[in-house]
Structure 1
Amino acid sequence: MIIGMGSDLCNIERIQAALDRHGDRFELRCFTVIERAKAAKRPFTRAGTYAKRFAAKEAFSKAVGTGFFQGVYMKDIGVVNLPSGAPTLHLENGAAKRLAELTPDGHEAHIHLTLTDDHPWAQAFVVIEARPLP
């Protein structure tokens, strides 16, 4: 069953402006070590890489119904890739706690994430599914 759904559209130029204005402070406040490493490997599309991840964090916060309140913070939501290359989210602290609160007993949460960009826009969709435990 679906227990949450969220989407976000992010302007890549806005992320580039934040990087230009705040540099490392912006990156450290919003992104995980893994996300920063991935962006560093993509110097020509760095802002787009960050914009997709920023959108994913926003989409997740909408899917769990909190926004960035009630202990759900950007740094606790990280985009990671499965062995297949498909993106998903790794959650820590308040973000993981909020997801656990939403997940019905006898179920486990599975996060579906899709990312795309077409300059100047980056977009993310998050669907949270509760699957019965075996």
Structure 2
Amino acid sequence: MIVGIGSDLCDIRRIERSLERFGERFTQRVFTPGERARSDRRAARAPSYARRFAAKEACAKALGTGLSQGVFWRDMEVVNLPSGAPTLRLTGGAAARLAALVPPGHRARLHVSLTDDPPLAQAFVVIEALRDESC
């Protein structure tokens, strides 16, 4: 069953300006070390950061909290599955909120779709609760 859906559209130029103006202060506040390493390896850093920013916003919406109620930027990390598909790793307040959303006897699966078509980056997040067969 679907327990949360979120989407976000991010202007890549806005992220580019934040990178230029605030540099590491911005990236360290919003992104995990893994996300920074992955984005900083790219020739075009801003689109990579913008996709991740949009994913975090979409995830916060899917959790039903936005960036409040103990959910912080770095509680949500965009990572890749072995297949290369993006997903999110949640920690802290985001993980606690996810646990509260998922009914007993179920486990969460986060589906993430990321894209960009400059000047925009877009993300969709769907939180699915799957029956846990081990229960």
Category of TM-score, reference length = shorter chain: over 0.9
Matched residue SS, 1:88: strand
Matched residue SS, 1:111: strand
CA–CA distance in structure 2, aligned partners of residues 114 and 74 of structure 1: 18
Corresponding position of 2:131: 132
Identity of aligned residues (%): 61
CA–CA distance in structure 2, aligned partners of residues 93 and 15 of structure 1: 25
Corresponding position of 2:6: 6
Note the alpha carbon deviations across 1:51-108, whole angstroms, 9 max, x for none: 0000000000000110000000111100000000000001110000000000000000
CA–CA distance in structure 1, aligned partners of residues 60 and 3 of structure 2: 13
Unmatched tracts of structure 1, length 5 or more: none
TM-score (norm 2): 0.98
Corresponding position of 1:65: 64
Corresponding position of 1:78: 77
Kindly report structure 1 stretches of 4+ aligned residues shifted beyond 6 Å.
none
Task: Write the letter of the residue equivalent to 2:84.
Answer: G
Matched residue SS, 1:100: helix
Corresponding position of 1:56: 55
CA–CA distance in structure 2, aligned partners of residues 105 and 76 of structure 1: 23
Unmatched tracts of structure 2, length 5 or more: none
Corresponding position of 1:107: 106
Note the alpha carbon deviations across 1:92-134, whole angstroms, 9 max, x for none: 1000000000000000000000000000000000000000010
Query: For residues 82-101 of structure 1, what are the structure 2 equivalents within 5 Å?
Result: 82-101=81-100
Task: Write the letter of the residue equivalent to 1:2.
Answer: I
TM-score (norm 1): 0.98
Matched residue SS, 2:84: coil
Coordinate RMSD, CA, aligned: 0.5
Task: Write the letter of the residue equivalent to 1:48.
Answer: P
Q: Offset of 1:40 from its aligned partner?
A: 1.2
Task: Write the letter of the residue equivalent to 2:9.
Answer: L
CA–CA distance in structure 1, aligned partners of residues 59 and 41 of structure 2: 25
| Residue 4 (structure 2) pairs with residue 20 (structure 1) | no
Task: Write the letter of the residue equivalent to 1:114.
Answer: S
